[in-house]
Structure 1
Amino acid sequence: MTTADGTRPTGLGALDDAREAIRVERRRVGDEREAFRAFRTRVGSISSEPIDPGDGWDASARGVAGGGGPERVRNVSGYAGVADSGEPIDTRAPAGSGLVGVRDAYVETVMSVPHYDVEYDDTYERSVREEFGPELGFALTRTSRFHAEYKRSLVDAVDAAIDERERFLDVIDTESESVARAESRLAAIADEREAMAE
């Protein structure tokens, strides 16, 4: 409904803005859910690697929970930078490491959603730490092999990320229905006012 001058009645224009914001948010959350689903599929095809007892980096992060701490770093993410402690990160990823496959899959799915730069603008290392927690983030970016326990933890964390997006989509759909009801009520009031004015 529009007024004689072509504008929406007071209140309905604000609901148009709300509906558009909800539409954008729903599309973004849906894109993220699908990206995590694609990432999970790709992770499933990456073989886990055995722990090398002679590799201090493997031993330092064994068990995902805590590992050797960020003071001992070996980054396989391929991104130059420094650790949280300020120490330089060794960015030479071992050839054929499953962790490189994980990184590439994450960058090509989760970090490739259309709104990623606008909404997050994170590095791979920061993104996995924020999404999956500091311990798994450490395992994925500062160790040398993609162990079976890392893979299990990652799959569980990705499933949780997918579930979180699905719950958020339900909330968005509820908000959309609420806006639609409000618009219907306001439109009826606007029609009644217009009839009374005439």
Structure 2
Amino acid sequence: MHRHTLAPLSAAQQRVATERDQIRDELEAFESFAERVADIDVQQPQGGPSRSVQRTVVTNQQRTPLQRLRSAFRETVMAVPHFEEVYDEPLLVHVDGELGSDVAASFQNGGTFSEPLKRAIGSGVAQAVERRSTVLEHLDDEIDSLADALSELLAVTETMDELMAADGDVDGRLRDVEDRIRSVLLERQALIHGRRSTFSATGTDLCTYLYGESGGWTYPVLSVTASLQRDADALERRTGADQLSAP
């Protein structure tokens, strides 16, 4: 009867799993982009060695380094399966958001793929990968936390269903149920307060980032424990009323 109360936890698990898959795809895409960038030769300044002039002539017959750079970004970072659903923005806008405005400006036609630009791209990519690696660590912790809470609260709901159907005094078992609910609640609160997983781009914590648009609960474990505690309180009142009305 009470198992429907756990629905936010199952929905949260699905949400975190989806986010983790997407972040992994993005991380791998940035690593692929970095490999593509490493294979692009920088353009030498005008007036350099004669071999630079020859290289420029050959390149102009094919694709310029910046054309190759833009193609590499489209075919890796912007090619993740969820790009349109999550981002859906032009190349230069996405480069700006991920690698910075200076790099984005250098992606435009007429620019030069210089050594400083190549280093700047490498630095930006490293930061993008690091950000996603950090988020993945938080998501792995969140998956473990949700699994632990679901396991414990599933046992709680089974006991509560038994108590609702039981005859006689259930005070001892009911107190145990309330203690277990409180234990899950306190453990989850400690995790939320201790995690300090603030996202600089959004100014939110991990739960708001993940569940803020879930349509009813930003903190799924806290929401479920509150519902179960209300049910336990109702059961306690009913039990007390039954004892008072007993002959």
Bin the TM-score by the shorter chain: 0.7 to 0.9
4+ runs deviating over 4 angstroms: none
Between Structure 1 and Structure 2, the one with more helix by share is 2
- Measured in 2, the distance between the counterparts of 1:160 and 1:37 equals 11
Determine whether 1:17 maps to 2:15: no
Residue 142 of structure 1 and its aligned partner are, at CA, apart by 4.9
- Measured in 2, the distance between the counterparts of 1:94 and 1:160 equals 34
Code of the residue aligned with 1:39 in structure 2: it is F
- Measured in 1, the distance between the counterparts of 2:19 and 2:163 equals 38
| Preserved contact between residue 94 and residue 144 of structure 1 (Cα < 8 Å) | no
- Measured in 2, the distance between the counterparts of 1:94 and 1:151 equals 22
Q: What per-residue deviation string (whole Å, max 9, x for no partner) do you get for residues 57-95 of structure 1?
A: xxxxxxxxxxxxxxxxxxxxxxxxxxxxxxxxxxxx995
- Measured in 1, the distance between the counterparts of 2:106 and 2:76 equals 20
Q: Which one of the candidate residues 121, 126, 133 is aligned to 2:88?
A: 121
- Find the structure with the greater CA-based Rg: 2
**TM-score, normalization by structure 1:** 0.72
Residue 116 of structure 1 and its aligned partner are, at CA, apart by 0.1
| Preserved contact between residue 66 and residue 109 of structure 2 (Cα < 8 Å) | no
Instruction: Report the aligned-residue RMSD.
Output: 1.9
The 1:159/1:30 distance shift into structure 2, 3 A limit, reads: same
The 1:94/1:46 distance shift into structure 2, 3 A limit, reads: same
Alignment of 1:51-70 (within 5 A): 51-52=45-46
Q: What per-residue deviation string (whole Å, max 9, x for no partner) do you get for residues 96-154 of structure 1?
A: 32111110010001100000001000111111111111111111225422101100110
- Find the counterpart in structure 2 of residue 102 from structure 1: 69
The 1:94/1:103 distance shift into structure 2, 3 A limit, reads: farther
- Find the counterpart in structure 1 of residue 199 from structure 2: none
**Structure 2, unaligned runs of 5 or more:** 48-59, 166-247
Indicate the SS of the match to 1:18.
Answer: helix
Determine whether 1:164 maps to 2:158: no
Moved more, 10-19 or 22-31: 10-19
Residue 9 of structure 1 and its aligned partner are, at CA, apart by 1.0
- Measured in 1, the distance between the counterparts of 2:85 and 2:61 equals 32
- Measured in 2, the distance between the counterparts of 1:33 and 1:122 equals 18
- Find the counterpart in structure 1 of residue 222 from structure 2: none
Number of residue pairs matched by the alignment: 153
Code of the residue aligned with 1:26 in structure 2: it is R
| Preserved contact between residue 97 and residue 144 of structure 1 (Cα < 8 Å) | no
Q: Which one of the candidate residues 29, 35, 44 is aligned to 1:41?
A: 35
Q: Which one of the candidate residues 164, 176, 191 is aligned to 1:197?
A: 164
Determine whether 1:147 maps to 2:114: yes
**Structure 1, unaligned runs of 5 or more:** 54-92
Q: What per-residue deviation string (whole Å, max 9, x for no partner) do you get for residues 24-81 of structure 1?
A: 100000000010011011111011112338xxxxxxxxxxxxxxxxxxxxxxxxxxxx
Residue 197 of structure 1 and its aligned partner are, at CA, apart by 2.9
Residue 195 of structure 1 and its aligned partner are, at CA, apart by 2.1
